[in-house]
Amino acid sequence: MTLASPSAEDSITALVADLERYNSAYRSGTPLIDDNHYDRLVERLRRLDPSHPFLHQVEPERFSGKRPVRHPEPMLSTQKAYEPKQLERFVERVAKAAVEIGLVAEQVRYRITPKLDGLAGRDDGRVFASRGNGLMGYDITSAFEKGVVPVGGRGKGVGEIVAVKSYFDAELADHFDHPRNMVVGIVSAERDALNENAARALDAGMVHFVPYGQLPCREIDGGTLQANAWHLSADLAAEVDYPLDGAVAEAVDPALKAHMGATTHHYRWQIAVKSKGETGKTTVREVQWQVGRTGKLTPVMAVDPLPLSGATIRRVTAHNAAKVREEGIGPGARIEVIRSGEVIPKLEAVLAPADRVDLPEDCPVCGERLHWAKSPQTGKDVFLVCGNFACGAQLKERLRHWFRTLGTADWYGVKTIERLVASGVDSLEKLYTQTQEDFVAMGFGPVQSENLVQALSISRTEPIEDWRFLAAFGISNLGLGDSRKLLAHCAFEALRTLDHDQIKAIKGFGDTKSANIIADLAQLAPLMDHMLALGFNLQRTPLAAESPVIESPIAGKGIVFTGKLRSGSRSDLQAQARELGARVQTAVAKSTDYLVCGEKVGAKKIAKAEALGVQTLTEAAYLDLIRVA
């Protein structure tokens, strides 16, 4: 039985469009929903499409007219735990990583601090930069000139601009919906154009930049973290007079943090502790199906209205087709759901299966015959898939995925792409031939048409990593991290020559993943060749097997730069060290050979290096060393 096409509000496309709209409003200081609501929508998207690019990028913030600034280290988002099981899995991952580098799992220490709800930034003492997209922010140093108070002084690193909560509640709550609204306005506006109430708060010294290192904290072991995280979060909140959004827990040991590293979205050694929502029981009325970018169908349950946490729930995701089939999800099924501010909550359990389960045989959008696809993790049939590459739902999502993943050009939002596809511009090949006149003919205004053309030009000319370019094509099971790993073994132009065994031989690529990648590479090869021929400014990934042998005193050596450096910025020295064949690291570990120290280096870092047998060099000694090359 083929069910009706899902309504727009239930589709992944609509969900991501809502998330982008909510995030844009939040970043501009005019939030439309609360943080719990937003976080739960993100978690819903994670369940519907774990590989969706929105989940693997830092939600961007933009300040027009501000100078772009590249961060020396990424400012990433934070993974979240709403319930003890999620926190337990985090602690288990950290413990496993600790054992891998020779630490005792039971002795791993964690630091938990309040999670500020403000505008994130990094202050190195010279430039104060907003988070931006995590890699590139904006110079907002003028915030200090306007009156933002740097708690603890300048140059204290990463933190957030926040209003003093008690002052805001007493003096400003009638003028702003949320303290963050005021903060964003302060950063965005010139001093003489500030809102008078925001100016009053600045004059009173009630807007602060709070470095995370200045916050109260507790240092605890893993068992205490699991048992008391939410209580500790509440205790810490009582010590801080700023807007908060839970707490942040992270591993303390620098070597452990360096070993665990990060995804493109978050640090693996850190997690946010947030409140869990209310649960309730309801009955399924109907299962509807939505089509994603890669053709996967996601089931959404229409349920009897369920009052939960102040809202009436009518839609719940059922995750995937296999879950529908195996757990008996259909009309009449009784289910338990959980909600913490979200519109479409999480399915906790199927309490009583339906008498019948109907799975669609044809795509609800284009009518193509569906087929089963295996999970890369289990190798079992999990997803129903529409194999029609020209399916309308997939076309729109692929175009949006392209621009989201490249991250170098604006203007191509969901409404724009819907109009493009409706006008017959349903592929990247067609899109990149469009002129300003073409866009005007489709109904876009002259200014927007000019912006759309300029955005296409920027996407070609701005430097972009080849692995990001590859990931933007939306190849199944090939996200940003795996794209980088693949291109370290094979140049972009030679990808089509790879066979299943060659890809499978790369660490992290199993049978199913390799087969999916091979199939998509074959299908997308003409498009990839076409886009490559347009002259994108690709930054190439060095091939691991063909990297030239570099002869230098630091070739193959692990190097950490710390302190205030005089001979150049830290990023400049790191880039130079990489060119000389060094393994640049961000924290001292057993694999570190040299700790290069500028001015004002903390005694603990030097003591850590000495304890691990790492050689400490002054900046001058390091420069003398590499001059031998």
The per-residue pLDDT for range 100-151, each reduced to its tens digit, is 999 998 999 999 999 998 999 999 999 999 988 888 889 999 999 999 999 9
pLDDT per residue over 163-173, tens digit each?
Answer: 998 888 878 87
Task: Between 304 and 266, name the one with better pLDDT.
Answer: 304
The answer to the question of residue 379 being in a domain is no
pLDDT of 342 higher than 50? no
Q: Which of 40, 527, 613 has its CA nearest to residue 316?
A: 40
- The predicted pLDDT at position 7 comes to 38
- The predicted pLDDT at position 374 comes to 82
Buried b (16+ CB within 10 A) or exposed e, 442-460: bebeeeebebbbebbeebb
pLDDT of 340 higher than 60? no
Q: Give the chain's mean pLDDT.
A: 84
- Binned at pLDDT 50, 70 and 90, residue 378 comes out as low
Active site residue 115: yes
pLDDT of 331 higher than 80? yes
Strand 68-70 and strand 136-138: the pairing is antiparallel
Interior angle at CA 19, CA 137 and CA 82, nearest 5: 95
- The predicted pLDDT at position 6 comes to 39
- The predicted pLDDT at position 545 comes to 55
161 plus 137 within the same structural domain: yes
The answer to the question of residue 380 being in a domain is no
- The predicted pLDDT at position 40 comes to 64
Q: Which of 370, 403, 431 is the last residue of a domain?
A: 370
pLDDT of 466 higher than 80? yes
Catalytic residue among 66, 80, 115, 396: 115
334 plus 473 within the same structural domain: no
238 plus 89 within the same structural domain: yes
- Residue 178 vs residues 20, 242, 244, 549: alpha-carbon distances, Å: 19, 12, 12, 56
- The predicted pLDDT at position 484 comes to 81
pLDDT per residue over 274-328, tens digit each?
Answer: 876 677 899 999 999 988 888 889 999 999 998 876 667 888 888 889 999 999 9
38 plus 170 within the same structural domain: no
- Binned at pLDDT 50, 70 and 90, residue 357 comes out as very high
Q: Which of 467, 320, 453 has its CA nearest to residue 406?
A: 467
Question: The CATH number of the domain where 13 resides is what?
Answer: 2.40.50.140
Tell me how far the alpha carbon of residue 583 is from its chain's centroid.
Answer: 25
Q: Across residues 507-511, what is the average pLDDT? A: 76
The answer to the question of residue 93 being in a domain is yes
- CA atoms within 13 A of residue 464's CA, in its CB half-sphere: 25
pLDDT of 569 higher than 70? yes
The answer to the question of residue 130 being in a domain is yes
- Residue 47 vs residues 13, 16, 52, 130, 469: alpha-carbon distances, Å: 14, 13, 10, 30, 25
Task: Between 309 and 461, name the one with better pLDDT.
Answer: 461
- Binned at pLDDT 50, 70 and 90, residue 210 comes out as very high
Question: The CATH number of the domain where 109 resides is what?
Answer: 3.30.470.30
| SS3 of residue 114 by DSSP | strand
pLDDT of 608 higher than 90? no
307 plus 407 within the same structural domain: no
Task: Between 570 and 203, name the one with better pLDDT.
Answer: 203
- Binned at pLDDT 50, 70 and 90, residue 586 comes out as low
pLDDT > 70: percent of the chain: 87
- The predicted pLDDT at position 32 comes to 54
Task: Between 503 and 11, name the one with better pLDDT.
Answer: 503
265 plus 283 within the same structural domain: no
The letter for the amino acid at 224 is T
77 plus 50 within the same structural domain: no
| SS3 of residue 210 by DSSP | strand
Q: Across residues 557-571, what is the average pLDDT? A: 83
Tell me how far the alpha carbon of residue 623 is from its chain's centroid.
Answer: 37
217 plus 133 within the same structural domain: yes
Lowest mean pLDDT among 9-13, 353-357, 429-433, 528-532: 9-13
The answer to the question of residue 234 being in a domain is yes
pLDDT of 98 higher than 90? yes
Q: Across residues 454-458, what is the average pLDDT? A: 92
Q: Across residues 231-241, what is the average pLDDT? A: 88
96 plus 159 within the same structural domain: yes
Q: Across residues 206-214, what is the average pLDDT? A: 93
Task: Between 234 and 150, name the one with better pLDDT.
Answer: 150
* Largest separation between any pair of C-alpha atoms in the chain: 78
pLDDT per residue over 18-70, tens digit each?
Answer: 777 766 655 554 555 555 566 667 767 766 766 666 655 545 566 767 888 88
192 plus 324 within the same structural domain: no
Q: State the total domains in the chain.
A: 4
The answer to the question of residue 546 being in a domain is no
Question: The CATH number of the domain where 595 resides is what?
Answer: 3.40.50.10190
516 plus 403 within the same structural domain: yes
How far apart, in whole angstroms, are the C-alpha atoms of residue 150 and residue 159? 10
Q: Across residues 534-544, what is the average pLDDT? A: 86
Dihedral (CA of 542, 548, 552, 556) sign: positive
The answer to the question of residue 436 being in a domain is yes
The letter for the amino acid at 94 is V
- The predicted pLDDT at position 125 comes to 93
Structural domain containing residue 132? 68-273
- The predicted pLDDT at position 8 comes to 33
How far apart, in whole angstroms, are the C-alpha atoms of residue 224 and residue 232? 10
The answer to the question of residue 354 being in a domain is yes
- The predicted pLDDT at position 629 comes to 43
- The predicted pLDDT at position 393 comes to 87
- Residue 302 vs residues 133, 368, 384, 480: alpha-carbon distances, Å: 36, 24, 19, 34
330 plus 402 within the same structural domain: no
Q: Where are the beta strands (DSSP E) in 6-154?
A: 68-70, 80-81, 109-116, 119-123, 128-130, 136-138, 149-150
